[in-house]
Amino acid sequence: MVAPPLTPEELIALFAAKATAPPTEANQLLVRHLQCKESVDLVRSVFEAMDRYNETGRQRLQTPTELLPPLG
């Protein structure tokens, strides 16, 4: 069964409720991660290393197999 379309007023109320609702646990973890100085420094270091590696004109680095999820 398909729900009937929302009226503009219902849609505005839904967005207002979502905007004022507390963040989910996953969103809180993500925000904490993005605000972590060590995480930001690590990302910066990885991108700088990638830039330096690409400047040499070599092939791109392959992702280590231990970082890839299992297939299946």
Give the model confidence (pLDDT) of 13-58 as tens digits.
999 998 898 888 998 888 888 889 998 899 899 888 888 777 666 6
pTM of the predicted protein model: 0.42
Residue 10 has pLDDT above 90, yes or no: yes
pLDDT band, residue 69 (cuts 50/70/90): low
Q: Count of residues for the chain?
A: 72
Q: What is the pLDDT of residue 70?
A: 66
Q: Are 48 and 40 in contact (CB under 8 A)?
A: no
Query: Cα–Cα distances in Å, from 60 out to 8, 10, 42, 54, 64?
Result: 49, 50, 19, 7, 12
Q: What is the pLDDT of residue 61?
A: 65
Distance (Å, whole) CA 62 – CA 69? 14
Distance (Å, whole) CA 50 – CA 59? 11
